[in-house]
Structure 1
Amino acid sequence: MDEQLIGTARENTNEFILNQLVDLYGDDLKRIAFLYVNDLAQCEDIIQEVFISCYKHLSSFRHESQYKTWLIRITINKCKDYQRKWSFRNLIYKPLMEPFIKTSHESTEKLYERSVGKNDVAQAISMLPAIYKDILILYYYQELTMEEISQVTKSKVNTVKSRLSRGRQYLKEILEREGTEHGSI
């Protein structure tokens, strides 16, 4: 997909390319940002900042990586900037509950359990150190390959593999600890 954009980059304006990037990657970047900040409004602000930054630097993009990789890196950096802010560190984390959409024959209780489980995992991921959080989000939520994650994080592939393994272990420990504190997982 990026090859098509690179081809159009020479023929079209930055506005056209930006619109294409928003259409292609906006939802993926929003998911990444939400997993970092767990706040939909702030997530949308971050994505807006990402695309403003993208627009400002689009003409200097060197095509050493794909647009998607570049935008994911910008998104992660903006999320980390947000997390470093004083106001974020001093807020109490309150996860957003997904709306209950009954699309199957599952009982309301099963839908509730599944929704709570997703929130528990998202909250546990948000508690991980950034080096593990990055890898888990990119691997499981963005379904990037080890090589792509290596490019985004500017790490060696073996480093990505070991961080993924350690991140899984830490995530498991957090979920088990939280499960025992609240009665069950």
Structure 2
Amino acid sequence: MNQLQFTQSKPSINNNWSKEEKLDFLMNEYGDKIIRLAYSYVRTKHSAEDIAQEVFIKCYEHLDEFRGDSSHKTWLYKIAINKCKDHLKSWSHRNVVLTEIKTSIQKVMHPASDIECIRKEEGQFISEKILSLPRKYREVIIFYYYEGLSLKEISNLLNLNINTIKSRFYRGKKLLEKELKGGDFLE
């Protein structure tokens, strides 16, 4: 009995589409991923959403100039990384961080129910450990495991030598493993 194998082809941009249709496709296809990527840098949902919006504005402005040297996904990620780095250097980011520290102190003074706290901790433990890694390791781990990029694609995206990416990937995994072993569920 022959088994039919079906391959699911990834939808792509049709060159006959208008600029608005192309943008709509890219936003639907990569919007959530761009927000997650931005969140991994800026660590606030609101800022990540703002950055994603800026990414797609810039995408729209330069969509006609896209040469196809890379995939649209890689191009959008590159824009997002640059926007995130700009945001991290900005005064508004430093001001938000101070506000969040104040909010965290207030939460300690007025904690939620124990059960609610335990559930949140269980759900966020690994994400927090990944986000606590230094950025150079965190971004490689996120791109590899969450975005499914190869080390070569990450190398191209970050404009770094492949051996640097391999080293950061290995060290990031070791740091993450060390952090996770400190957690209750792995002891």
Both structures adopt the same fold (TM-score exceeding 0.5): yes
- Deviation (angstroms), 1:19: 0.6
Match of 1:137 among 142, 146, 149: 142
> Highest Rg: 1 or 2?
2
Amino acid at match of 1:38: R
Question: Which residue pairs with 2:75 in the alignment?
Answer: 70
Output the TM-score relative to the length of structure 1. Answer: 0.74
| 1:21-80 residue CA offsets vs partner (Å, 9 max, x unmatched) | 011111111121222222222111111000001111111111100000111111122122
The separation in 2 between residues aligned to 1:68 and 1:33, in whole angstroms, is 14
Q: Does 113-122 or 19-28 show the bigger shift? A: 113-122
Partner of 1:4: 12
String of CA shifts for 1:100-122, please: whole Å, max 9, x gaps: xxxxxxxxx7x975742442333
Structure 1 runs not aligned, ≥5 long: 96-108
Deviates further, 76-85 or 167-176: 167-176
- Report the 3-state secondary structure (helix = DSSP H, G, I; strand = E; otherwise coil) of the residue aligned with 1:62: coil
Runs of 5+ in structure 2 lacking a partner? Answer: 1-8, 104-114
Distance 1:80-1:122 versus aligned 2 partners, 3 A rule: farther
> Does the 8 Å CA contact 2:77/2:157 hold for their aligned counterparts?
yes
Alignment equivalent of 2:162, drawn from 135, 140, 157: 157
Relative distance call for 1:118 and 1:38 in structure 2 (3 A) is farther
> Helix, strand or coil: the match of 1:144?
coil
- Call closer, same or farther: CA 1:3–1:151 in 2, change over 3 Å: farther
Given the two structures, how large is their TM-score scaled by the length of structure 2? Answer: 0.73
C-alpha RMSD over aligned residues? 3.2
Q: In structure 1, what residue type is equivalent to 2:19?
A: N
Equivalence map 1:1-185=2 (5 Å): 4-5=12-13, 8-9=14-15, 11-90=16-95, 91-92=97-98, 115-175=120-180
Q: Secondary structure at the match of 2:12?
A: helix
Kept after mapping to 2: 8 A contact 1:50/1:74: yes
